[in-house]
Amino acid sequence: MDTPASTLARYKMFIGGEWVEAASREHFESDNPFTGKPWALIPKGGAQDADRAVRAAHKAFTSGDWPKLNPSKRGALLRKLGDLVVEKSKFLAEVEVRDNGKLYAEMSAQTAYMAQWYYYYGGLADKIEGHVIPTDKPEMLNYTRYEPLGVIAAITPWNSPLLLTAWKLAPALAAGNTVVFKPSEFTSASVLELMKLIEQAGIPPGVVNVVTGFGADVGMPLVEHPLVSKVAFTGSDRTGTLIYQTAARGMKRVSMELGGKSPNIVFDDAHMENAVKGVVSGIFAATGQTCIAGSRLLVQESVHDAFVEKLVAFAKTAKMGNPMSLDTQVGPVTNPPQYQKILDYIDIARGEGAKPVLGGGKATRPECGGGWFVEPTIFTGVRNSMRIAQEEVFGPVLAVIPFRDEEEAVAIGNDVVYGLAAGVWTQSMRRSLMMAERLQAGTVWVNTYRAVSYLSPFGGYKRSGLGRESGQEMIKDYMQVKSVWISTATEVPNPFILR
Ligand code: NAD
């Protein structure tokens, strides 16, 4: 039976400090992945709403309270926002689970942890210093200033809505910009809830705005808008390419956090039990719906069969079910198109001759309710040239590929268009250092997987992206440098000669 629209939570967009409907007055439904039923109505924004939000952000950037705030005061507002995120972390986690299907056990810790981005960049806001340049010109003072870019359009995917929002919002505001967010049409609710905390923190109206809707309707008008200075994008490399091309026409800056096909590489000298856990966390945590999923398992031939046996035995025990239950380990897939895509890739892998040694289809266990569940799936007999080894599935599907030695592990590990992350399991220090150096990936984990922090740069090599998020350096990606020359000479010299 359909859920009556009157019982659904009804959201509004946040533009210029006001809660507003879309210009079209239309809504679309947001589904709960565990029940497979709608739970909320989200305004269906369009180009007119995108324009309104960009104009509000531009106004807030150029006039009013925000440009008058010094960096220390901006920092204080961000730290206040961090406090509110901690205070509301359980509630934010519940909304995220309802909208996205992620595990409450993971989200309740993650929503509290994400406050660290607001604290960290709040602290960094007043530590971005220009330089006095030791100039070669006589009677001249030359110094640099770091200034904000203007309006940032931030476009995010559905797999980690609030965390990825924090990764963009905290440095963008610390640098003095204003922002328009376009969350994924599958998971807009938690970001709209966050806007209530933006209001409470006292961040001036128009500094942060959210326009909800579909990519072509809202995302593209934001990318094309002449008053947008930078597009900060996280999503698929297909959409990223389109956005990059469009942004180039307006000479806008971009940062791109895109997909991956990361190798998790197990050598014969690895601590096997730890490696099994690391491989499982790489592919079955978050139901494999993470950009950093270790979706290719490279195992040294000498331990291949024994390792796969241990891995299957452990992965088989994963408890599926309601993502709100604290003992659930594998939750649902977030949305029907993604569910279908994963099932299609399972068929493709079979068609390519790969052999499923675990799972291999829909999960129909009673505890999976009416949701979109896929059995944790492991394929052996995979060659790296197969589609299942080259293309991002974004689900709980692991492709196992044997290798002979270090040289071959590096060659296979790097033989994909992506370069987001890699895992290495070995007890050899020499091998750890050598692999960390030779793997073409923005992050390499040795004897661990899935560690991220506000302190450490994150981003992709090759088609996995442009630029980095987190850490100190990247705040300058939200700024531009100005060189100021001041003459102390009493007389202007020959005006026809470059000085
Ligand atoms: P997607 O590219 O389909 O959508 C991402 C966002 O772009 C959504 O908000 C969507 O509405 C918007 N969009 C879609 N078409 C658009 C268009 N023509 N113009 C402007 N905006 C448009 O990606 P998704 O399916 O939501 O997310 C999954 C992808 O995100 C995976 O590839 C995953 O690897 C990637 N991802 C990367 C990282 C990272 O940090 N590298 C993190 C999380 C997810």
Is the distance from CB of 234 to CB of 164 less than 8 angstroms?
Answer: yes
Is the distance from CB of 263 to CB of 422 less than 8 angstroms?
Answer: yes
Q: Which of 106, 291, 368, 469 is the catalytic position?
A: 291
Is residue 204 domain-shared with residue 309, that is, in the same domain? no
Which residue in this structure is represented by tokens 């104009």? Answer: 55
Q: Cβ–Cβ contacts within 10 Å for residue 90, how many?
A: 13
State the Cα–Cα distance between residues 243 and 224, nearest whole angstrom: 9
Q: Is residue 458 part of a domain?
A: no
DSSP 415-434: -SSEESEEEEE-S-HHHHHH
Sorted by sequence, the CB contacts under 8 Å of residue 351 that are 6+ apart come out as: none
Is residue 114 domain-shared with residue 240, that is, in the same domain? yes
Q: Rounded to the nearest whole angstrom, what is the distance from the C-alpha of residue 181 to the centroid of ligand 1?
A: 13
pLDDT of residue 111: 95
State the Cα–Cα distance between residues 81 and 119, nearest whole angstrom: 8
Q: Is residue 459 part of a domain?
A: no
pLDDT of residue 4: 67
Check pLDDT > 60 for residue 371: yes
Nearest CA to ligand 1 atom 14: 215
Is residue 175 domain-shared with residue 69, that is, in the same domain? yes
Is residue 210 domain-shared with residue 303, that is, in the same domain? no
**Angle between the 89-100 and 71-87 helix axes, to the nearest 10 degrees?**
70
Alpha helices (H) along 316-405: 336-351, 387-390
Q: Report the pLDDT averaged over residues 129-141.
A: 95
Q: Is 368 noted as a catalytic residue in this protein?
A: no
Q: Rounded to the nearest whole angstrom, what is the distance from the C-alpha of residue 454 to the centroid of ligand 1?
A: 21
Is residue 216 domain-shared with residue 271, that is, in the same domain? no
Q: What Rg do the C-alpha atoms of the chain give, in angstroms?
A: 24
Q: Is residue 454 part of a domain?
A: no
Q: Which of 96, 185, 257, 392 is the catalytic position?
A: 257
Q: Is residue 451 part of a domain?
A: no
State the Cα–Cα distance between residues 403 and 418, nearest whole angstrom: 19
Which residue in this structure is represented by tokens 């206040």? Answer: 80
Domain of 219 in residue numbering reads as 5-258+464-482
Q: Is 106 noted as a catalytic residue in this protein?
A: no
Is residue 279 domain-shared with residue 325, that is, in the same domain? yes
Is residue 221 domain-shared with residue 269, that is, in the same domain? no
Is the distance from CB of 212 to CB of 188 less than 8 angstroms?
Answer: yes
What residues are in contact with ligand 1 under a 6 Å CB criterion?
155-160, 164, 182, 184-185, 214-216, 219-220, 223, 234-236, 239, 242-243, 257-260, 291, 392, 394, 420, 460, 465
Sorted by sequence, the CB contacts under 8 Å of residue 84 that are 6+ apart come out as: 197, 200, 201
Sorted by sequence, the CB contacts under 8 Å of residue 60 that are 6+ apart come out as: 16, 66, 178, 204, 205, 206, 207
Q: Is residue 488 part of a domain?
A: no
Sorted by sequence, the CB contacts under 8 Å of residue 212 that are 6+ apart come out as: 11, 13, 22, 42, 43, 44, 45, 182, 183, 185, 188, 192, 218
pLDDT of residue 3: 61
Nearest CA to ligand 1 atom 16: 215
Is residue 284 domain-shared with residue 216, that is, in the same domain? no
Is residue 238 domain-shared with residue 363, that is, in the same domain? no
Q: Is residue 81 part of a domain?
A: yes
Is the distance from CB of 128 to CB of 146 less than 8 angstroms?
Answer: yes
Query: Which atom from ligand 1 is nearest to the alpha carbon of 464?
Result: 41
Per residue in 267-311, pLDDT (tens digit) is 999 999 999 999 999 999 999 999 999 999 999 999 999 999 999
Is residue 37 domain-shared with residue 138, that is, in the same domain? yes
Q: CA 476, 464, 421, 183: dihedral to nearest 10 degrees? A: 70
Closest by CA position to 393, among listed 431, 338, 474: 338
Is residue 229 domain-shared with residue 286, that is, in the same domain? no
pLDDT of residue 1: 47
Residue 436 burial (C-beta neighbours within 10 Å; 0-12, 13-18, 19+) = middle
Is residue 182 domain-shared with residue 253, that is, in the same domain? yes
Q: Is residue 487 part of a domain?
A: no
Residue 496 burial (C-beta neighbours within 10 Å; 0-12, 13-18, 19+) = exposed
Check pLDDT > 70 for residue 443: yes
pLDDT of residue 2: 57
Domain total for the chain? 2
Q: Rounded to the nearest whole angstrom, what is the distance from the C-alpha of residue 259 to the centroid of ligand 1?
A: 9
345: domain CATH number is 3.40.309.10
Helices and strands in the chain, H and E counts: 15, 23
Q: Report the pLDDT averaged over residues 13-24.
A: 98
Query: Which atom from ligand 1 is nearest to the alpha carbon of 460?
Result: 41
Last residue of a domain, one of 402, 418, 446: 446
Biggest alpha carbon distance in the chain? 87
Query: What is the rounded average pLDDT for all residues in the chain?
Result: 97
Enter the pTM of the model.
Answer: 0.96
Q: Rounded to the nearest whole angstrom, what is the distance from the C-alpha of residue 239 to the centroid of ligand 1?
A: 6
Parallel, antiparallel or unpaired: strands 296-300 and 18-20: unpaired
Q: Report the pLDDT averaged over residues 319-340.
A: 95
